Amino acid sequence: MGLTSLVSAVRSQVLGSLARRFAGDGPYAGLALLPDRILWPLHRDGLDPVERMAEIRGREPVSKLPVPFGIRAWLVTGDDATREVLGSLDGFSNDFGKFAGKVGIKISADPGGLGFADPPDHTRLRRMLTPEFTMRRLSRLQPRIEAIVADRLDALGAAGAPADLWHEWALPIPALTICELLGVPYADREYFEKVSMSRFDMGAGAHAPLDAVSESLNYLDGLIKEQRRTPGDGLLGALIRTHGDAIDDRELAGLADGVLTGGLETSASMLALGALALMEDPAMAAQLRAGENVDAIVDELLRYLTVVQVAFPRVAIRDLEIGGVPIRTGDVVICSLSGANRDQQVGADPERIDPARLPGRSHLAFGYGVHRCIGAELAKMELRTAFPALVRRFPDLRMAVDPAELQFRRASIVFGMDSLPVHTV
């Protein structure tokens, strides 16, 4: 997702456009930080969206976002309006490169990937990936995920007191899973963790995410050249064997980057924040320990935590109305998934974790419409395996610091933390 390529999953979305505006050698070069009046939808109060989110959603579910430099931008916080935007087939474009060029933003490298592509390119590329994400194909990863989780629980138990659940458990589980899926050497994991994380962080200024995108693409380029010669067993090798002639290296790098970074920090944050929620709710942990309501608990945690806080920016390609608000061609629309997932539409008391809620429709943590997360089932496999295993292995798991001392990321598209100190015994 980074400002340009989001290559992966969710990344640079919305605010990426703005960061690009501030990056490069254009007139706004040097503006290091994006202003809080734009970034506030990424802020949280503990695990919750800030109070302002509920106020704005109640008053104006489609509201103006005060973006400078002549860009007209809208923040969508309501469930219905979000589905309208993300489900629209002919009203919006994800092709930020095209938009950026029109408003004079210079993009040095277009990283490709699904998140920034429109049909028919998006349809063609997504079809290449879909067979690798069917339940049948993914089920072959289940024993591997179980082994990875068990191994990381050993590491967490051996890490001393306190142990860092983020580093020992939450981050390595998806990193190892994705390396396995893609056929990327595990030895390169730390490098990927670094570039994947910095591309989502809008609080560190505009250049860091852009640099991270190019770094990741450079790395993948080398790997692809190697696999063109000798295709490996993973997804990358399968794509080259099946579609090698129909896809160029740049598109392939964009797809791989999307999978790699889209599936890493997102799932890691869900694991860490979900573990935190379980430590605070012993009754829910007990249900998981007994193997009860596992699917419902995982889905409710996905909704409640909504780690991908905003969808990729959409650009209106015709005049239209969303929730009764006129949107003009060229307007940028940012959907707050964390806002929409706390709308009353999801059922009674949306600010509370309640696995028993039976919403009339599903949550928006994986997005909606043609860009809905391609890795949703894989992510759920990881969470359904990891949470019950964690609470079974460490029934006395508890935080090693006062919850008020936990440091959450302040303005990252993917909400999360960089460490979670715990006692396992």
Q: Which tokens sit at 173?
A: 């589980």
CB of 369 to ligand HEM, least distance (A): 7
Q: Which residue has the tokens 């935190």?
A: 276
CB nearer to ligand HEM: pick between 227 and 424: 227
Binding letters toward ligand HEM, positions 289-318, x by CB under 6 A: ------------------xx--xx------
Distance CA 60, CA 76 (A): 9
Distance CA 236, CA 239 (A): 5
Task: Please name which of 375, 340, 374, 369 lies closest in space to residue 93, comparing C-alpha atoms.
Answer: 369
Question: Does residue 371 touch ligand HEM according to CB under 6 A?
Answer: yes
Question: Does residue 338 touch ligand HEM according to CB under 6 A?
Answer: no
Question: Does residue 270 touch ligand HEM according to CB under 6 A?
Answer: yes
Question: Does residue 262 touch ligand HEM according to CB under 6 A?
Answer: yes
Binding letters toward ligand HEM, positions 62-101, x by CB under 6 A: ------------------------x---------------
| Three-state DSSP state, 95 | coil
Question: Does residue 378 touch ligand HEM according to CB under 6 A?
Answer: yes
Stretch that binds ligand HEM, among 136-144, 244-252, 254-262, 326-334 (CB under 6 A): 254-262
Query: 36 to 55, contacts with ligand HEM by CB under 6 A?
Result: none
Taking each helix axis from N to C terminus, what angle separates 142-158 and 172-182, rounded to the nearest 10 degrees? 150
- Given a contact cutoff of 8 angstroms between Cβ atoms, the answer to whether 422 and 163 are in contact is yes
Report the residue from 8, 82, 287, 385 that binds ligand HEM according to the rule CB under 6 A.
8
- Given a contact cutoff of 8 angstroms between Cβ atoms, the answer to whether 304 and 411 are in contact is no
Q: Which tokens sit at 227?
A: 């696999």
Taking CB positions, which residue lies at the least distance from ligand HEM? 375
Report the residue from 61, 78, 112, 263 that binds ligand HEM according to the rule CB under 6 A.
263
CB of 424 to ligand HEM, least distance (A): 24
Question: Does residue 267 touch ligand HEM according to CB under 6 A?
Answer: yes
Burial class from Cβ neighbours inside 10 Å (0-12, 13-18, 19+) for residue 121 reads middle
For residue 108, the Cα-to-chain-centroid distance in whole angstroms is 24
CB nearer to ligand HEM: pick between 343 and 424: 343
- Given a contact cutoff of 8 angstroms between Cβ atoms, the answer to whether 68 and 326 are in contact is no
Task: Please name which of 163, 47, 144 lies closest in space to residue 385, comparing C-alpha atoms.
Answer: 144
| Beta-sheet strand order (sheet of 421-423) | 163-164, 421-423, 398-399
Distance CA 244, CA 264 (A): 25
Report the residue from 41, 115, 172, 355 that binds ligand HEM according to the rule CB under 6 A.
115
Stretch that binds ligand HEM, among 65-73, 375-383, 388-396, 405-413 (CB under 6 A): 375-383
Question: Does residue 9 touch ligand HEM according to CB under 6 A?
Answer: yes
Please count the other Cβ atoms lying within 10 Å of the Cβ belonging to residue 54.
18
CB of 184 to ligand HEM, least distance (A): 12
Q: Which tokens sit at 8?
A: 């992966």
Report the residue from 183, 367, 388, 416 that binds ligand HEM according to the rule CB under 6 A.
367
Query: 176 to 205, contacts with ligand HEM by CB under 6 A?
Result: 178
- Given a contact cutoff of 8 angstroms between Cβ atoms, the answer to whether 339 and 77 are in contact is yes
DSSP 52: H
Stretch that binds ligand HEM, among 144-152, 193-201, 264-272, 322-330 (CB under 6 A): 264-272
For residue 9, the Cα-to-chain-centroid distance in whole angstroms is 6
Total residues binding ligand HEM (CB under 6 A): 30
Question: Does residue 365 touch ligand HEM according to CB under 6 A?
Answer: yes
| Interface ranges with ligand HEM (CB under 6 A) | 8-10, 13, 86, 114-115, 126, 178, 258-259, 262-263, 266-267, 270, 307-308, 311-312, 337, 365-367, 371, 373-375, 378-379
